[in-house]
A and B are shown apart, each in its own frame.
Chain A
Amino acid sequence: DGGITQSPKYLFRKEGQNVTLSCEQNLNHDAMYWYRQDPGQGLRLIYYSQIVNDFQKGDIAEGYSVSREKKESFPLTVTSAQKNPTAFYLCASSMSGRTNTGELFFGEGSRLTVL
């Protein structure tokens, strides 16, 4: 079954702890993205990567970190420096370069709650 898999679906964390959200895709897409979805604020881009071993900050990168060691994987770490980490996180992927149609394929999301 092709697509994007995010895990875990729900995650609870104590303040001061780092947490890593997993995102894996088997669509052979070059580009991957992390968005944060908050009520009334839509989707805001955290980080994106257009190719392995390269990534760029999005609009709200502070307090987050990513890595892109494999084409299939783009994990997001929410660090203790993120001031308001409780949110719904969406991972997405797309083709890039000349084949890029602009369509993003999304995962089911991970809901992080900081206690």
Chain B
Amino acid sequence: AQRVTQPEKLLSVFKGAPVELKCNYSYSGSPELFWYVQYSRQRLQLLLRHISRESIKGFTADLNKGETSFHLKKPFAQEEDSAMYYCALTHIFGNEKLTFGTGTRLTIIP
């Protein structure tokens, strides 16, 4: 069975400080991992996906297969980063359901 764990329900960080949201997974196949974000009063939306190797809004995430982790990082937090963040997993070839973690609410302190 596939499982995604986000150990922190709440995370508060000062503006300008580095941010790291943790995500660990268990999956027997080849995983594809995602980070989704839900800003206040907005729809849940894709932030970034591992396969794209991209940086979105200054965020990056590295897949560490040895540690089965996909932590989300940003070197300098901004107030607009305050949101709910979900890590999600599916099979690398898609066509399977997306499994979400329990989410981390990030608050940036001005």
Contacts of B49 in A (CB 8 A): 101-103
Please determine whether A102 and B101 come into contact, CB atoms closer than 8 angstroms: no
Contacts of B101 in A (CB 8 A): 42
Q: A102-B49, A106-B44 are in contact. Are A42 and B98 (CB under 8 A)?
A: no
Q: How far is the CA of A102 from the CA of B31 in the complex (A)?
A: 11
Residue of A nearest to B89 (CB): A102
Q: How far is the CA of A107 from the CA of B42 in the complex (A)?
A: 10
Please determine whether A58 and B97 come into contact, CB atoms closer than 8 angstroms: yes
Within 8 A of B (CB), among A81-115: 90, 92, 96-97, 100-104, 106-109
Please determine whether B95 and A108 come into contact, CB atoms closer than 8 angstroms: no
Q: How far is the CA of A75 from the CA of B101 in the complex (A)?
A: 25
Q: How far is the CA of A50 from the CA of B94 in the complex (A)?
A: 11
Q: A40-B102, A43-B100, A45-B99 are in contact. Are A100 and B94 (CB under 8 A)?
A: yes
Contacts of A96 in B (CB 8 A): 94-95
Please determine whether A106 and B98 come into contact, CB atoms closer than 8 angstroms: no
Contact with A along B37-50 (1 / 0, CB 8 A): 00000011110010
Chain B CB within 8 A of A48 CB:
yes
From B32, B46, B98, residue with most partner A Cβ within 10 Å: B98
Please determine whether B97 and A45 come into contact, CB atoms closer than 8 angstroms: yes
Please determine whether A107 and B43 come into contact, CB atoms closer than 8 angstroms: yes
Chain B CB within 8 A of A64 CB:
no
Chain A CB within 8 A of B90 CB:
yes
Chain B CB within 8 A of A53 CB:
no
Within 8 A of A (CB), among B19-73: 32, 34, 36, 43-46, 49, 51
Residue of B nearest to A107 (CB): B43
Please determine whether A42 and B86 come into contact, CB atoms closer than 8 angstroms: yes
Q: A102-B34, A103-B46 are in contact. Are A43 and B95 (CB under 8 A)?
A: no
Which residues does B use to contact A, with CB under 8 Å?
6, 9, 32, 34, 36, 43-46, 49, 51, 86, 90, 94-95, 97-103
Q: Which 4 A-B pairs have the closest CB atoms?
A: A100-B94, A42-B102, A43-B100, A106-B44
